[in-house]
Structure 1
Amino acid sequence: MTRKIRLSKQQQRHIDRRRRVDDQAETSLSPGIVVTHHGHDLLIEDSDHQLHRGRARRTVGRLTTGDRIRWHCDEQGNVMIEQREDRRNLLIRPDAYGKKKMMAANIDQVMVITSVLPWMNPDVVERTLVAVFALPATPVIVLNKVDLLPGLPAGERRSIEENIALWESLGFEVIRTSVKSGEGIEALRSRLHEQITLMVGLSGVGKTSLSREVTPSADQAAIGEISTFNREGTHTTRASTLYRFPDGDGGLIDAPGVRDFPVEEVPSAALDEGFPEIHAASAYCRFNDCRHINEPGCAVRAAVADGDILERRLAQYQAMR
């Protein structure tokens, strides 16, 4: 038998008052997005793209850059985050100590930045593509510094062009860019429009230069806001930060230490999207569970022997699988 708890009139009045406050707050909550964070302090952006400093209630849980939230000002004028909307995706990376850390949420697309110099290992590019599909998000390959391509030794130039041609033939979007000549910059801006984008790539491929070309806020006013917010003299990429575009609702997320994405468990659907030629050929294997190693009637191995699938691609597919 459940015992009914009797409340005093004072306790009941307190509960009723708290409910009225909560109901009022619920109807007056404003939408926003997390721009960056420093410990428990958060910098958020409202629907008019104005920045506010605030904190989240413990019931909200941990927040990260890109989280869409609901907030209001309390009686003292402090910004309080009351709710977090459901995430479409979440990027988690290990920090320097191996501890998993949230880096960004609600990413629409990932720009995988390669360059003519330094050239990125094709295996790293392709692993990153699979990981982006696993988020899920849309990957876009950017070949930067194309103005340097004619000056490369013939063998190096041919290798880069062959890999780019392969990725395009498999259906991956590739944008060729050069900050020096201006090639592809407008195409890049158009692709970034109204999208929340994360740029990844090796050091020296030109991520910073490209960012400054498409979003001046990454080098000007917003950095001042964020540097003051973080109590640091200059901006350093210690926490993920969202930078807006001046002519649209999209933005770039600058995240620390993201070169590629280590994926602990690769979803089969993401693997199929990352290796579409292997997925297509596997439909003709004799066995449905063919591992494409030494099984009889393997259509994938036959395609490798015929030169239709690269041995390197199959080896990486098997390693990730």
Structure 2
Amino acid sequence: MARGPKLTKQQQRHVDRRRRVGRTPSGDDLLAGVVVAHHGHDLLIEDDARELHRGRARRTVGRLATGDRIRWCHDDHGHVIVEKREERSNLLVRPDAYGKKKLMAANIDQVIIVTAPLPWMNPEVVERTLVAVLALPARPLILLNKADLLGETPPGELEEIEAALALWQRLGFAVIRTSVKTGEGMDELKSELAGRSSLMIGLSGVGKTSLTRVITPLAGDAAVGEISAFNREGMHTTRTSTLYRFADMPGGLIDAPGLRDFPIDQVPEAVLDDAFPEIAEAARYCRFNDCRHRNEPGCAVRAGVEEGTILARRLRQYQELLKTD
């Protein structure tokens, strides 16, 4: 008869404790952990000491996502069994190629929207993503990477980039510039990442991989090797969402596959007000409280567009998103 894996002293103590209290583990008997990655039913779990364990969840736990906080134990053979999922603060769900909902990541504190001079992301895509991040809810951070290329950017394109960054910053969104090549902004980025569970998204070619390698110096650590072996792929050939820790600070970075923007379903008007603060402020002076800023008389928002204090494209986008409410 095949035997289970040889138990460590910690595992054996845990098993012995379970035997004393019975086969059904109590809340006090369960250990805390976080889902680092998963392949089907197979899970990679991090414990409080940041040690990694392979395991599986009971069917009663339901579907798990990277970043889920869980409670787990060892069975009589030392296998890791997830018994419970803690309540989520948020959950990112994306449809797969077949339209089936796929759990991407949970308990996200911050989403880093990565742009670059080349390829430059359409500002409206950035702003739609801002709406979805605020709806999670999570903190958005707009990052212009490859800042060293700004000096080579044609004047017209450079003016568009600078105008967009200045607008977002003026509206109260965090905006930073980084360059892996020169080191610009890397300390500021690390400061923004410290103590937060962050998710990085952006178009292909904006340098997410290079940024990740710099800010997660665990690239040469055994833990990353174990994650890569579990994923059956290299660190940055991402097919499943994976949580990477930092060597020198608390927090973590979730690397998600093929995530360029967020799906937007129903958007509460309060979220739109946070994403379009200049429109929300002007709307306070509209003649009608329920003004939708279309054809109503006395609309202060449309007046702002005519005066140039509100961009017409942002009002158009606001109105399009308001339809989904």
TM (normalized to structure 1)? 0.91
CA contact (8 A) 1:212 1:219 kept: no
Structure-to-structure mapping, 1:1-321, within 5 angstroms? 20-21=21-22, 24-218=25-219, 221-230=222-231, 232=232, 234-235=234-235, 236-321=237-322
Cα separation, 1, equivalents of 2:57 and 2:123: 42
Structure 2: gaps of 5 or more residues: 1-17
Cα separation, 1, equivalents of 2:97 and 2:208: 22
By how many angstroms is 1:22 displaced?
5.7
Secondary structure at the residue paired with 1:75?
coil
In structure 2, give the amino acid aligned to 1:147.
Answer: D
In structure 2, give the amino acid aligned to 1:144.
Answer: N
CA contact (8 A) 1:93 1:100 kept: yes
- Aligned identity (percent) is 66
Deviation string 1:253-296 (CA, Å, 9 cap, x unpaired) is 00111101121111212111110000111111111111111110
Secondary structure at the residue paired with 1:291?
coil
Deviation string 1:140-182 (CA, Å, 9 cap, x unpaired) is 0001111111111111111110111001110011011011110
4+ residue segments displaced more than 2 Å: 17-26, 216-224, 232-236
Secondary structure at the residue paired with 1:83?
strand
Cα separation, 2, equivalents of 1:126 and 1:222: 36
By how many angstroms is 1:225 displaced?
1.0
Count of aligned pairs between the two proteins: 304
CA contact (8 A) 2:52 2:223 kept: no
CA contact (8 A) 1:211 1:218 kept: no
RMSD across aligned positions (CA): 1.7
Cα separation, 1, equivalents of 2:99 and 2:197: 27
Cα separation, 1, equivalents of 2:20 and 2:275: 50
Cα separation, 1, equivalents of 2:220 and 2:163: 35
TM (normalized to structure 2)? 0.90
Cα separation, 2, equivalents of 1:158 and 1:229: 45
Deviation string 1:53-93 (CA, Å, 9 cap, x unpaired) is 01111111111100000111111101111111000000001
Q: 1:272 to 1:219 in 2, by over 3 A?
A: farther
Cα separation, 2, equivalents of 1:224 and 1:268: 45
Secondary structure at the residue paired with 2:22?
helix
In structure 2, give the amino acid aligned to 1:195.
Answer: R
CA contact (8 A) 2:33 2:46 kept: yes
